[in-house]
Amino acid sequence: MSSIEDSHLLSELTLPGTHDSLSYWISKRKRQTGEEWAQTQSLTLFEQLDRGIRFLDIRCRLTGPNTLTGCHGTIMFPITFSEIVTDCANWLTSHPSECIVLSLKNEEKKPAAQTMGAFAQAAAANLGAIPSLLHPADDLPRLSDVRGRLILLRRFDAPPLGIDATHWPDDTAFRHTNKAGITFVVQDKWNMGAFGGQIFPKFTSLVEPVLRKASEDSNLRTLYLNFCNGMSPFTPAQVASTINPRLLNFVTHAPPGRYGVICMDFPEIVEGARLIRNLVELNAPIAAPGAFPIRPQAPDIPHHSPAASEKA
């Protein structure tokens, strides 16, 4: 982000992100039967950030007074939210020109009101433990306001804290404007059962249209969040092995511009860091001249139809 001009809003950027960013913990121990359905990452948080990821999807449960513990559904990970915040702060100290968007969700499906309040209190306490780390406002910030800081995308009820994203229906695509006037366009449909036993339509029917819409939208204050993950009847790894190459092909031929936040599973499985790097390079129009290599620009990106062998 060091080469991107300070005046630009967060919503004007193309940001690589990960889905269920903590699930790499599953690979750090003997994987239990069925946990292949839960693992969506193999890179640690530091490795994700070092490779260019700037959006983290963090899920936690309340496990004690002012204590949130990372998880994926009911699978718990040996890391607390306090440790996650500290890790992000340490990374930002070494990379002061960057910022991290951190989405935090309460994984308790139907928490009691008391639990909801305690979760919000714990999140606020953990985020407030490091002075000046959290961007305090609930608006869309400009880069000049958030370099070296965390931006919270809050997916749980709480007093004003970060950007309010509590309206988030499960397994769907939607458009919503919150009370602060921020408009979200979110594509977060993960159940692959709707695609007749094929993976490819997830990209052509959901991911690609939102990429195109983000790049064509003249309202640069709309925040686009586009999730490339999926499962059931496929594992996340199987979905990523089909979706990520299509995404790489798209961004390699796409004209530079705003494509929003793109959240991926296993982003490194396609040619190492190339997918993340190519996403970052789409920010060329708002970066300093020469910051990113000049890429061939096509007037439009052709819609790709899979061969029979690709219909996995």
Separation CA 142–CA 199 (nearest Å): 37
DSSP three-state, residue 83: helix
What confidence tier does 309 reach under pLDDT thresholds 50, 70, 90? very low
Mean pLDDT of 116-130: 97
**pLDDT: which is higher, 285 or 112:** 285
With 0.95 as the threshold, say if the pTM is over it: no
Within a domain: residue 71?
A: yes
**pLDDT: which is higher, 79 or 309:** 79
CB 99 within 8 A of CB 151: yes
Q: Does 210 have pLDDT greater than 80?
A: yes
R_g (Cα) of the chain, nearest Å: 19
Within a domain: residue 223?
A: yes
**Among 44, 144, 141, CA closest to 87:** 44
**Quick one: tokens of 240?**
């990523």
pLDDT in tens, 163-198: 999 999 999 999 999 999 999 999 999 998 878 778
pLDDT of residue 65: 95
Number of compact structural domains in the chain: 1
Within a domain: residue 37?
A: yes
Q: Does 17 have pLDDT greater than 90?
A: yes
At 214, which CATH number? 3.20.20.190
Separation CA 228–CA 125 (nearest Å): 32
Percent of the chain with pLDDT over 70: 93
Mean pLDDT of the chain: 92
Within a domain: residue 306?
A: yes
Percent of the chain with pLDDT over 90: 82
pLDDT in tens, 57-77: 999 999 999 999 999 999 999
Within a domain: residue 277?
A: yes
Task: Please give the full DSSP string across 111-139, using - where no structure is assigned.
Answer: --HHHHHHHHHHHHHHHHTSTT-B---SS
pLDDT of residue 157: 92
pLDDT of residue 306: 44
Q: Does 305 have pLDDT greater than 50?
A: no
Mean pLDDT of 223-242: 95
Q: Does 120 have pLDDT greater than 60?
A: yes
Within a domain: residue 5?
A: no
Within a domain: residue 1?
A: no
The CA-CA-CA angle for residues 202, 207, 212, to 5°, reads 145
pLDDT of residue 95: 98
Q: Does 296 have pLDDT greater than 70?
A: no
Separation CA 192–CA 200 (nearest Å): 10
Separation CA 44–CA 49 (nearest Å): 9
Q: Does 301 have pLDDT greater than 80?
A: no
**Quick one: tokens of 199?**
């993976």
What confidence tier does 297 reach under pLDDT thresholds 50, 70, 90? low
Enclosing domain of residue 114: 10-310
Within a domain: residue 4?
A: no
